[in-house]
């Protein structure tokens, strides 16, 4: 499993270096839309994940997320 | 772009000649103002001379803007006579949201569009909302990114200070 | 085990919102039924501070799998004869402090039922870089579980779990954003299910294997998430992919896709489809000829594939209130596993759910 984790870290490093588009703060109208959030309805996500976890062995990965609007 | 390179040079000249040259000229001087469709009053760049201008970049999708608008309206009413012009620069890409926003958070101050992002790029906007306070001589004197209730006291203080200054 | 839910928007939320959810879940063949109302409040409470609090009560009723037997040559997952009625309470609270665009959050959650208690503390931070085009998130959490069992008053075991999280979110364009997260979970303690056992008949008298699992479990989950808005269609596509593996030998894949379609007057419809599969744990078996130190026939540790489909209808009103209604079905089948063999003897599993919600912003 150590190799798996190292490989994943390697991918992340590459992704970080690659960089992507630089979207300006005022161009975030679409990204700010509630349906574009990673967990648009956190309560619903919580309930659904709880149900899946009671019937499945795998879980996790959701932690904390970013993105969204350019607001301050 | 050339004016950006000239600015540090102008600043140097200003320092050497004791302020005879202008520094940090706001992008408003170069850009024509396009009113936001269906809003009053329209404003012309000429009318801004000698006034203190509060430029606010906003959008209907920006959550802190909902709190800023009532306060901006209050500033507009309070200091208009003394020479404050509040200029709301809208950055929406689609205008459906703007109508709804203005219905809930009405504004009697001037609202303009920013086609080609000239103003946003000229002011180097780094977050939404962004406020730029311009003095009577056309220089950007204060910037503020974001909006929270604790920002208002300081912003109002700067407005009052700038209004006290002369136009020359 | 997951860290507390994040705020919807990057950057401090200016508005407070509150809502309730009502959730009903029912398994096929008269098994479990769950009714779970939930209430929540979230938003900015002071300059630089956000709060996120929720509380829910699950009421479970019905029968659950108790033992697995091969009597008569066929593997049977027998349900317990007693029909239970239990309730579980869960509360969660998270406080976030903002430093410009970056934040630090402290979360707590507690889940309690008569034979199980789990408490978690979590710390997470978020950093926005490149004009918020890149978000880095890190988190750690620790949980302590206390496990008992009805009918076994002497049973009081504990388990402690730590989770480590790192995630990166990258804006791809004005309409698309992607996120990659890695979560590592490390647990020690009691993992057995004190209610389950397996009876293996080779002759007249069965060998009994009690559900016994290793005392440690280490797992890693890699989650990739994609969101794209299509302005011409006024719709958003969401796609999540997760790969999971752990020290029990379980490997799993998950694909979850949904399409959020906006309509006039604040209406929206969101159909969704999910595929999940897992391989069996090393110590999983449907029969045990002789009892072993670690062995379990729990269906949750077997190999299977599962599909679920759902749809959500929502209406947002001009005053900031919204209501939503969702329904969906879930089905597990050993033969549905696409990337490997399934545990053939596992019975099919079916369930359905209904969820209704209301929220308001103030």
Q: What is the C-alpha separation between C252 and C320, in angstroms, rounded?
A: 40
Who among B64, B93, B94 is closest to C14 (CB)?
B64
Is there a domain that residue C1 lies in? no
Sheet with B110-113, strands from edge to edge, namely B34-35, B110-113, B84-90, B52-58, B130-134, B140-145
Residues belonging to chain A with any Cβ–Cβ distance to chain B shorter than 8 Å: 24-30, 32-33, 69-72
Please indicate whether, in this complex, the C-beta atoms of A70 and B128 are within 8 angstroms of each other.
yes
Whether C116 is in a domain gets the answer yes
Please provide the DSSP assignment of C197-261 as one string.
Answer: EEEEESSSSEEEEE-B--SEEEEEEEEEEEEEEETTTTEEEEEEEEEEEETTS-EEEEEEEEEEE
Q: Is residue C179 part of a domain?
A: yes
pTM of the full predicted structure?
Answer: 0.86
Residues of C in CB contact (< 8 Å) with B are 9, 11-15, 47-48, 101, 131-132, 174, 231, 318
Provide the shortest C-alpha distance from residue B150 to chain A (in Å). Answer: 13
If one compares C106 and B45, the residue with the highest pLDDT of the two is C106
Establish if C8 belongs to a structural domain: no
Q: What's the pLDDT score for residue C244? A: 97
Q: Is residue C261 part of a domain?
A: yes
Q: Which residue, among B94, A10, A28, has the nearest Cα to C101 in the 3D structure?
A: A28
Cβ-contact C221, C249 below 8 angstroms: no
B-interface mutation test, from A22, A23, A25, A26, most B Cβ less than 10 A away: A26
Of residues A26, A30, A33, nearest to B128 (C-beta): A26
Task: Tell me the pLDDT tens digit for each residue of B60-106.
Answer: 998 889 889 999 999 999 999 999 999 999 999 877 788 889 988 99
CATH number assigned to the domain comprising residue C230? 2.40.160
pLDDT for position B10 = 55
DSSP line for C258-269 = EEEEE-GGGEEE
Whether C11 is covered by a domain: the verdict is no
pLDDT per residue over B115-156, tens digit each? 889 999 999 998 899 999 999 988 999 999 888 777 889 999
pLDDT at B22: 39
Residue B72 Cα distances to B66, B112, B139, C155, C233, angstroms: 11, 15, 20, 64, 35
Nearest to B57 among A26, A27, A30 (CB): A26
pLDDT in tens, chain C (362 residues): 233 323 323 345 568 899 999 999 999 887 889 999 999 999 888 778 999 999 999 999 988 778 888 888 888 888 876 677 889 999 999 999 999 889 999 999 999 998 899 999 999 999 998 888 899 999 999 999 999 888 888 889 999 999 999 999 999 999 999 999 999 999 999 999 988 999 998 888 889 999 999 999 999 999 999 999 999 999 999 999 999 999 999 999 999 999 999 999 999 999 999 999 999 999 999 999 898 999 999 999 999 999 999 999 999 998 889 999 999 999 999 999 999 999 999 999 999 999 999 999 88
Say whether C278 and A57 touch across the interface (CB within 8 A).
yes
Chain C CB contacts of B150 below 8 Å: 47
Per the structure, the count of domains in chain C is 1
Angle between helices B63-79 and B152-164 (to 10 degrees): 30
On whether residue C348 sits in a domain, the answer given is yes
Burial C186-203 (b: 16+ CB within 10 A, else e): ebebbbbbbbbbbbbeee
Q: φ and ψ at C245, to 5 degrees? A: -150, 150
Interface mutation vs chain C, best among A39, A50, A61, most C CBs within 10 Å: A61
Residue C5 lies in a domain: no
- Report how far residue C84's alpha carbon sits from residue C78's, in angstroms, rounded to the nearest whole number: 15
**In contact, B150 and B68? CB cutoff 8 Å:** no
Chains that touch C (3 or more CB pairs under 8 A): A, B
Q: C259 lies in which domain range?
A: 22-361
Residue B22 near residue B54 (C-beta atoms within 8 A): no
Quote the minimal CA–CA distance from B48 to chain A in Å: 24
Please give the ipTM for the structure prediction: 0.90
Contact at CB, C9 and B149, closer than 8 angstroms: no
């Amino acid at each position: 499993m150590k190799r798996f984790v190292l490989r994943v870290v390697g991918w992340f490093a590459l992704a970080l270096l690659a960089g992507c588009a630089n979207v300006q703060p005022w161009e975030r109208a679409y990204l700010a839309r509630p349906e574009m959030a990673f967990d648009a309805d956190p309560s619903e996500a919580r309930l659904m994940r709880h149900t899946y976890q009671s019937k499945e062995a795998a879980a996790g990965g959701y932690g904390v997320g970013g993105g969204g609007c350019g607001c301050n | 772009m050339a004016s950006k390179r000239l600015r540090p040079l102008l600043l140097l000249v200003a320092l050497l000649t004791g302020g005879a040259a202008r520094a940090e000229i706001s992008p408003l001087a170069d850009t024509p103002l396009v009113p936001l469709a269906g809003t009053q009053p329209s404003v012309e760049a000429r009318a801004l001379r000698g006034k203190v201008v509060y430029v606010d970049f906003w959008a209907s999708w920006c959550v802190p803007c909902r709190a800023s608008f009532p306060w901006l309206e209050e500033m507009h009413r309070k200091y208009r006579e003394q020479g404050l012009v509040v200029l709301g620069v809208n950055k929406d890409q689609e205008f459906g949201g703007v109508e709804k926003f203005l219905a809930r958070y009405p504004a009697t101050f001037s609202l303009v569009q920013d086609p080609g992002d000239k103003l946003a790029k000229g002011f180097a906007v780094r977050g939404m909302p962004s406020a730029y306070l311009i003095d009577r001589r056309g220089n950007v004197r204060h910037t503020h990114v974001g909006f929270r209730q604790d920002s208002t006291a300081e912003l109002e203080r700067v407005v009052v200070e700038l209004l006290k200054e002369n136009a020359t | 085990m997951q860290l507390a839910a994040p705020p919807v928007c990057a950057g401090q939320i200016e508005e407070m919102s509150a809502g309730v959810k009502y959730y009903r879940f029912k398994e096929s063949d008269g098994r479990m039924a769950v009714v779970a109302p939930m209430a929540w409040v979230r938003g900015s409470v002071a300059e630089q501070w956000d709060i996120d609090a929720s509380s829910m009560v699950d009421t479970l009723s019905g029968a659950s799998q108790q033992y697995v037997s091969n009597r008569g040559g066929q593997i049977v997952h027998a349900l317990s004869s007693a029909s239970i009625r239990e309730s579980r309470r869960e509360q969660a609270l998270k406080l976030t402090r903002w430093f410009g665009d970056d934040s630090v959050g402290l979360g707590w959650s507690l889940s309690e039922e008569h034979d199980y208690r789990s408490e978690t503390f979590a710390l997470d931070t978020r950093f926005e870089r490149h004009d918020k085009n890149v978000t880095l998130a890190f988190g750690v959490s620790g949980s302590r579980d206390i496990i008992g069992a009805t009918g076994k008053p002497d049973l009081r075991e504990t388990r402690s779990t730590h989770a480590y999280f790192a995630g990166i979110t990258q804006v791809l364009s004005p309409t698309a954003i992607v996120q990659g997260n890695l979560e590592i979970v490390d647990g020690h303690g009691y993992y057995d299910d004190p209610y389950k056992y397996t009876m293996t008949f080779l002759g007249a008298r069965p060998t009994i294997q009690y559900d016994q699992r290793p005392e440690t479990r280490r797992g890693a989950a890699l989650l990739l998430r994609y969101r794209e808005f299509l302005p011409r269609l006024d719709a958003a596509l969401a796609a999540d992919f997760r790969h999971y593996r752990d020290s029990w030998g379980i490997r799993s894949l998950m694909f979850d896709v949904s399409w959020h379609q906006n309509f006039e007057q604040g209406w929206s419809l969101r159909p969704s489809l999910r595929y999940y599969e897992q391989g069996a744990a090393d110590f999983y078996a449907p029969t045990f000829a002789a009892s072993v130190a670690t062995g379990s026939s729990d269906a949750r540790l077997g190999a299977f594939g599962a599909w679920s489909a759902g749809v959500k209808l929502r209406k947002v009103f001009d005053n900031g209130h919204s209501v939503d209604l969702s329904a969906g079905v879930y089905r597990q089948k050993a033969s549905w596993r696409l990337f490997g063999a399934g545990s053939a003897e596992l019975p099919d599993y079916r369930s359905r759910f209904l969820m209704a919600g209301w929220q308001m912003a103030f």
